[in-house]
Amino acid sequence: MVNKFDVPAMWTRQMGEVVAKSTELAADAYDTSAGLAALRAGYRAERKFWNEGGPELARVHDAKVPTEFGDVGVRAYYPVAEPDLPCIVFIHGGGYVLGSPETHDRITRILADRTGAAVVSVDYTLSPEAKHPQAMRECVAVIQELQKRPDRWGIDGSDISLAGDSGGAFMSLSAHLYLRDELNSLIDFRCLLLFYGFFGLRDSMSWRLLGGPWDGLTAEDYRYYLEMFLTSPEQIHDPYVDLFSHDLTRDMPPCYIAAADLDPLRDDSRCLAAILANSGLPHRYEQFSGVIHAFLHNSRMLDEANDALQHAATFFHDHAK
């Protein structure tokens, strides 16, 4: 695509060091042309380094949650050995075709440590094995399980939040809207913690100017992920893909919205924040300078990743029930 910015000339020194390290770890980590198996293997290899050294927690265990599509795995993180903890349901990113609780382990450990909440990370079924809306509805089933059986999970079922990065931020907001508008279930979420998500824009200034092999978000990459995720091109208009087709001016939990200013998805976050601001709804929008998409993974080397996680934890505490 023409008119793209020279993003490598614009990122911070630390961001450049992160990109160099990621290339050293797995040069094909974001290469959608390599084929699905190679793409997934490269992604797992690259994420292994970034997940080392997370906080030690009181307990971490894997479990299964029944859904209409079969059992879905979750990994539950407990920062302290106490009952009735607040709960954050974390939904990982990865373009809907990559990722797992394992690839996002350090992020979820840090969130648990800094919020004091139990964090339940959902291992939803990836695409193309599952097409939209299966993954989102699996996440909804996990949320319902936690709310209905809090004693089983050691949580306070009336104090649940949602969080996610990239495609996981999309699924967090989509799950809330599905519960609200389809199931008429107004779960009183404490907050949503949304890191650089896609929320439905089909074109934007940031898409026109940004994206490249360094973040795996070229125009060709974007088409690849959507083809894997959707049953047909027309499904891009589905209300649980185009989240801006919903009324976002009412019944919205407080939202922490983090964006990267060198991210093609940046304007999705800006648009969501503008709607909430215009409606007087509680939120905090932050745009982190000089960093690219998926920077939250890089807390071993990148100050902005630690800042975003800390600011999300602060927002969580500020909206305690």
pLDDT tens for each residue of 196-243: 999 999 999 999 999 999 999 999 999 999 999 999 999 999 999 999
pLDDT of the residue at 207: 96
Q: What is d(CA 125, CA 294) in angstroms, rounded to the nearest whole number?
A: 20
For residue 148 the two structure tokens come to 């209905």
Question: At 27, is the pLDDT very low, low, confident or very high (cuts 50, 70, 90)?
Answer: confident
Is the pLDDT at 28 greater than 80? The verdict is no
Residue pLDDT, tens place only, 100-120: 999 999 999 999 999 999 999
Is the pLDDT at 1 greater than 80? The verdict is no
Q: Where are the beta strands (DSSP E) in the chain?
A: 59-65, 72-78, 85-91, 118-123, 155-165, 192-195, 255-260, 283-288
Q: What is d(CA 21, CA 50) in angstroms, rounded to the nearest whole number?
A: 10
CATH topology of domain 7-318: Rossmann fold (3.40.50)
Residue pLDDT, tens place only, 132-182: 999 999 999 999 999 999 999 999 999 999 999 999 999 999 999 999 999
Q: What is d(CA 146, CA 164) in angstroms, rounded to the nearest whole number?
A: 17
- Helical segments of the chain, H only: 13-25, 36-50, 105-115, 134-148, 150-153, 167-181, 205-209, 219-229, 266-278, 303-318
Is the pLDDT at 29 greater than 90? The verdict is no
Judged by DSSP in three states, 240 sits in coil
Residue pLDDT, tens place only, 244-284: 999 999 999 999 999 999 999 999 999 999 999 999 999 99
Active-site residues, by number, are: 166, 263, 293
Q: Flag whether the pTM goes above 0.75.
A: yes
pLDDT of the residue at 112: 98
For residue 301 the two structure tokens come to 């080397």
Give the up-direction half-sphere exposure of residue 4: CA atoms within 13 A in the CB hemisphere.
17
